[in-house]
């Protein structure tokens, strides 16, 4: 398998090299470039960090020369970004958010995620640290992506933008929204009033948007009270923050048309109402990767660069309403490539369906070939010459 992996790496390196040679102008340059730390993952598997560039031209020259698997830029700003972390001289950091469909507990993941053996190239649904077919320990979990996954992640991104605007005062126009290039969305706010916020403050922000700790009590529903006492304490939809947001969601549910109805149900079935509120908070709260937001020294994948696990672009959207990442973020053309595919579930790119495949040699357009090779499920056939 070592030779086959080498062929796959060589194929990807050549493809990425072509992309950056022709599209380096598509890579987004961060503000205050001279205060940022840069890093990249090369095709030897080495993560190179603590790089600094005085200007856009020098950065792009390195991107074309190195054509990395992944390219990153710090969310933090430093006096000396090329020095070791303890000597950089931290100043401030952008707000950054990562929404990954794999963290959303979606039912579709059980249908399409699988374990894959790097030794024999066979998939399995069985959990374990060894391949059930060849006994190898070279097992990895492949988190596939479908339209349902990305649709759910997009809804989370939309909710996040709404929270930032309504509850934190960051205008939607100042929040940059991207398809991550693989299974979700990245969002960042540059130059907001929260750029000096420390890690604890960012953690509290994440917890607030998730509704952590919000209970029936915060809705004014207290035990051993009369309906006359409770009703005035229950919020109205116009109230700002979580109380107004939650009562709006509750009033849209069957059986609850008003504050009075909610109070009456609580009087009769308090446990059921408390459970319903917990489920509603979980549904309308925002689920982000807290580690990304909290880490003010994080290096974040750069807009316009390729994702190493898909070959798709980290694509920026001015509006998420019509975003279709599996069409919009395709980076390569349609020239035919012959591939030896070990395994692949069905996947969609540019509106076309491919797969399923298992232990077969097929011809695919370049964009689909890069996708499968980046996933580690295929390698170019010798028939390509």
- The answer to whether 98 is a known catalytic residue is yes
Active-site residue, from 94, 102, 289, 308: 289
Supply 275's token pair: 């459970």
- The answer to whether 322 is a known catalytic residue is no
Judge whether 55 and 33 are in contact, CB under 8 Å: yes
DSSP string, 106-174: -THHHHH-EEEETTT--EE---SSS-TTT--S-EEEE----HHHHHHHHHHHHHHHHHHHHTT---GGG
Residue whose structure tokens are 């340059």: 29
Classify residue 137 as exposed, middle or buried by CB count within 10 Å of its CB (0-12, 13-18, 19+): exposed
Contacts of 164 (CB under 8 A, 6+ apart): 170, 172, 175, 189
d(CA 263, CA 275): 14
Supply 202's token pair: 């960012």
Active-site residue, from 98, 198, 278, 328: 98
Nearest Cα to Cα of residue 145 among 372, 380, 379: 372
Active-site residue, from 100, 113, 198, 295: 100
- The answer to whether 328 is a known catalytic residue is no
Judge whether 293 and 96 are in contact, CB under 8 Å: yes
Helix 2-23 to helix 366-374 angle (10° resolution) is 130
DSSP string, 13-72: HHHHHHHHHHHGGGSPPPSSGGG--EEEE-TTSPEEEEE--SSHHHHHHHHHHH--SEEE
**Active-site amino acid positions:** 98, 100, 289
């Amino acid at each position: 398998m070592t030779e086959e992996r080498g062929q796959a790496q060589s194929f990807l390196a050549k493809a990425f090299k072509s992309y950056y040679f022709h599209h380096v102008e598509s890579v987004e340059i961060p503000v205050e470039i001279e205060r940022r730390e840069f890093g990249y993952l090369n095709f030897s598997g080495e993560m190179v960090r603590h790089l600094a560039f005085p200007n856009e031209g020098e950065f792009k020259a390195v991107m074309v020369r190195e054509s990395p698997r992944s390219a990153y830029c710090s969310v933090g700003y430093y006096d000396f970004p090329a020095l070791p972390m303890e000597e950089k001289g931290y100043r401030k950091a952008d707000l950054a958010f990562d929404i990954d469909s794999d963290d959303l507990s979606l039912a579709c993941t059980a249908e399409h995620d699988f374990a894959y053996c790097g030794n024999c190239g066979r998939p399995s649904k069985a959990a374990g640290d060894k391949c059930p077919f060849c006994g190898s320990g070279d097992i990895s979990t492949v988190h596939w992506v479908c339209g349902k996954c990305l649709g759910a992640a997009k809804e989370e991104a939309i909710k996040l933008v709404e929270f930032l605007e309504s509850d934190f005062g960051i205008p939607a126009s100042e929040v940059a929204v991207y398809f991550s290039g693989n299974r979700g969305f990245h969002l960042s706010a540059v130059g907001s009033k929260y750029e000096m916020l420390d890690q604890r403050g960012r953690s509290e922000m994440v917890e607030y948007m998730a509704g952590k700790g919000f209970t029936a009590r915060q809705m004014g529903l207290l035990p051993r009270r009369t309906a006359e006492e409770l009703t005035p304490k229950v919020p109205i939809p116009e109230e700002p923050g979580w109380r107004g947001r939650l009562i709006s969601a509750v009033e849209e549910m069957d059986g609850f048309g008003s504050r009075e109805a909610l109070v009456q149900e609580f009087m009769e079935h308090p446990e059921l109402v408390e459970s319903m509120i917990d489920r509603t908070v979980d549904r309308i709260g925002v689920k982000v990767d807290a580690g990304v937001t909290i880490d003010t020294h994080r290096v974040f994948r750069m807009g316009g660069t390729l994702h190493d696990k898909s070959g798709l672009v980290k694509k920026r959207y001015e509006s998420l309403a019509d975003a279709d990442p599996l069409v919009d973020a395709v980076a390569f053309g349609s020239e035919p490539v012959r591939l030896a595919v070990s395994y692949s579930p069905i996947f969609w790119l540019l509106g076309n369906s491919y797969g399923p495949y298992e232990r077969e040699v097929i011809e695919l357009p370049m964009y689909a070939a890069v996708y499968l090779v980046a996933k580690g499920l295929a390698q170019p056939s010798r028939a390509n010459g």
